[in-house]
Structure 1
Amino acid sequence: MTPVRVLLVDDQALIRMGFRMILTAEDDMEVVGEAHDGASALVQARALRPDVVLMDVRMPGTDGIRATEQVLAELPDTRVLILTTFDLDEYAFAGLRAGASGFLLKDARPADLLAAIRSVAAGDAAVSPRVTRRMLEMFADDLPTDGTSPGPGGQDDPRLADLTAREHEIFAALGEGLSNAEIAERFVLSEATVKTHVGRVLGKLGLRDRVQAVVLAYETGVAKPAG
């Protein structure tokens, strides 16, 4: 088995040491490097090409949000897990919008840390779409309310034009945070068919995972905050 190659990024050496001890005890994990801020994280990521980056957000100089954007822009196959102190805070939210595949609390149990790393390395998200939806609703004031977005955005986003009618329905359901089973029940489809549709939607929209689909659905106005 090829181990998951992990880059640790945190401005506190003791935290990096703790994560290193947990990861190196696993046969399928390898810590390939460490960085103490966002700028050095980008340098290390370029040189080491890790599978997963554990990225702190609150660091001096280049913070983890900007570093996440830079790393993913240059290394689209790398996955980023945001490390945060508070559950559902604006930093975790910003990290997801920057392209991270999930977030973890710094006091997460070792088993949860390892499961999250394995999940994102396999191409899944480390935070549920429902949690992402809650975060988006909490910070709805930061999102457009008229169907526009900071980027190409809105219902006129050219990426959405490539979706078939069914795929647009699936995308909207993803924006609600629905699971494959729930989507299958809504549209009277098999879960295998839903899985195929979800894969096509993510591929056409250039998204890494379902969490990114929820974010895009809100940014384009396909999903609306509750209430």
Structure 2
Amino acid sequence: MNRAARGKMRVVLLEDHVLFAESLELALELEGYDALSVSPNAFTSVQALLSRVLRVRPGLVLLDLDLGALGDGRRLIAPLVEAEAQVVVVTGATDRARWGECLALGARRVLPKSGSLNEILATIRRVDQGLPVLADGERASLIDLARQQSRERAEARDRLEQLSRRESEVLGRLLLGETVSEIAAHFVVSDATVRTQVKAILAKLAVSSQIAAVGLANRADWHPPGAD
């Protein structure tokens, strides 16, 4: 009797780490699942990858958030769920707010790669059996965390938009770790001029130090004018 005839669902692994994918695929096959590993590295676009996965009609997709050159795997969650595939994220990312974003998009659960293989398999079994895989309270807590971080990021971006172009350029140099003197030399101005610009930056961002300004810009995933 083949695996599909046993009634176990088809599981697709979207994972760019070959060894991890092969190990998990083998473990799933030993459990009797119809497992298929698909490497994002073989595709030139997210849409091409999505089309390949949907053609095999998976019951469950184990999704890595790092899709190599294709970027963030979160973009696949909503279309997979819309196509009636269940999604469990298996990731090396430790940012719990990012986990909450995955759950808000429709993922059933997020599992860390640092966890055990048994935990992954146990989750797959519960999904296959139609059982809950995450307590409602934990799900709600993670989604709330993601929404809070999203609000904070939006507020930070609003503040950053208040900067003049030159202030944005100065903040960009601070992000690179440059000192006031180095920034002054770059723009061919005096140190005093740059200190005045830094003071204006701190006031507009409502922070008290250059370190705090850099931290706010990083949390907002902000890039200075002209940055790639």
Q: TM-score, normalised by structure 2?
A: 0.55
Q: In structure 1, what residue type is equivalent to 2:141?
A: R
* 1:187-208 deviation per Cα after TM superposition (whole angstroms, max 9, x unaligned): xxxxxxxxxxxxxxxxxxxxxx
| Counterpart position of 2:79 | 70
1:9 to 9, 14, 31: 14
Q: What amino acid sits opposite 1:34 in the alignment?
A: V
Task: Name the SS for the 2:111 alignment partner.
Answer: strand
Residue 101 (structure 2) aligns with: 94
- For residues 98 and 131 of structure 2, the distance between their equivalents in structure 1, rounded to whole angstroms, comes to 21
**RMSD between aligned alpha carbons?**
2.4
The one-letter amino acid of 1:67's match is L
Unpaired stretches in structure 2, ≥5 consecutive residues = 1-5, 152-228
Distance of 2:132 and 2:73 partners within structure 1:
18
Shift of 1:62: 4.9
Letter matched to residue 86 of structure 2: R
Distance 1:40 1:56, change over 3 A: farther
> 5+ residue gaps in structure 1?
145-227
- The CA distance in 2 between the partners of 1:42 and 1:135, in whole Å, is 26
Query: In structure 2, do the counterparts of structure 1 residues 130 and 142 end up closer, same or farther at CA, with 3 Å as the change threshold?
Result: same
- Matched pairs, number: 142
Q: In the aligned structure 1, how far is the partner of 2:62 from the partner of 2:51?
A: 15
Q: Determine which structure has more spread, i.e. the larger CA radius of gyration.
A: 2
Q: Distance in 2 between matches of 1:40 and 1:20?
A: 22
2:87 equivalent among 80, 84, 90: 80
Counting aligned pairs with the same residue, the percent is 21
Task: Determine if contact 1:7/1:34 at 8 Å carries over to the other structure.
Answer: yes
Q: Do the aligned partners of residues 123 and 40 (structure 1) sit closer, same or farther apart at CA in structure 2, a change above 3 Å counting?
A: farther
> Which structure has greater helix proportion?
2
